[in-house]
Amino acid sequence: MKNKYVNYISDEHLIKCIENLHNSYLKAKNNITKKSLYKNKVDTIKLTFDAQFNDIDEESLIQSEILRQIDKSINNSIGTFHEQILGGVKGFEIGKLSGFDIKAKDNSLFADIKNKHNTMNSSASEALHQKLARYADDYKNAKCYWVQILAKGSFCELWKGDINGKEYSHSRVYKISGDQFYSLLTGQNDALYQLYKTLTFVIKDYLTSIKSDRTIYKNSALDEIKSNIITTKKSILEQITFDNYKYYLGFDKL
């Protein structure tokens, strides 16, 4: 029976990948509390510049910060989405916390997938090259890839060059763009394009098939902060700064 969406994975597998990503969206959007907003510390110095230079009121500023945190979480989930899609291609599987993202079942290929080309600093790049080289050394017939789903060009080439002052190269360690990697695994040059073109249709089909009984709770972070300033008489930005940095020298004066 011919697939409805793309040629290289089953409709059922694609729908499941969409479902997993949808759940990630729901989780990310579901009630950002003050505690979760503060988890990684809020850069209130930057927010001060944003407010003054971009003429943004403080409530809008905090809503933007909440949306930024949601977007950061979603970006991580998009990378996982591609791993899950490619793990459904015949002959391949996902890593499941095994040190790689995708591998060939016959150990002829190992890959680490990054959604964007610029998500690693030099230390992370060095560590990744070393890891891929170890796989290539351990599996003599394996080719190993750093996959950049969103790359600056379309390419598949040996990954070699200077990283942190050291020269790195290996005869079977490559860097590859997303379109080329999809093509490599599926044997179809337009595999990533097929996915892109069908996304709107498959998402609509998925959303139509589910019960919309998942409640998205309103983000409460701003309301919690505003309830604090009723008694403290601080501005919103001052309250956030105090909450995050009251243990810093002088900040207890806020």
Where does the pLDDT of residue 28 fall: very low under 50, low under 70, confident under 90, or very high at 90 and above?
confident
pTM metric for this prediction: 0.85
Which residue type, as a one-letter code, is found at position 199? Answer: L
The answer to whether residue 121 sits within a structural domain is yes
CA dihedral sign, ordered 201, 181, 78, 10:
positive
- Predicted confidence (pLDDT) at residue 1 exceeds the cutoff of 90: no
Q: What residues make up the domain containing 127?
A: 87-188
Amino acid type, 173:
V
Residue 203 placed within a domain:
no
Does any domain span residue 65? Answer: yes
Predicted confidence at residue 116, as pLDDT, reads 83
| 133 and 150 inside one domain | yes
For the record, the structure tokens of 4 come out as 């409805």
Q: Encode pLDDT of 187-214 as tens digits.
A: 999 999 999 999 999 999 999 998 766 6
Rounded Cα distance between 224 and 216, Å, is 18
Vertex 221 angle, CA 249 and 252, to 5°: 15
Q: How far apart are CA 233 and CA 254, in angstroms?
A: 10
**Do the domain assignments include residue 26?**
yes
Give residue-wise pLDDT tens across range 82-137.
Answer: 999 999 999 999 987 678 999 999 999 999 999 987 778 889 999 999 999 999 99
Considering the domain boundaries, does residue 25 fall inside one?
yes
* Letter string b/e over residues 34-67, b meaning 16 or more CB atoms within 10 A of that residue's CB: beebeeeebebeebeebbeeeeeebeebbbebbe
Number of domains in the chain: 2
C-beta of residue 100 within 8 angstroms of C-beta of residue 132: no
In a domain, 67, yes or no: yes
Whether pLDDT at 161 is above 80? yes
pLDDT digits 0-9 by tens, 44-58: 999 999 999 999 999
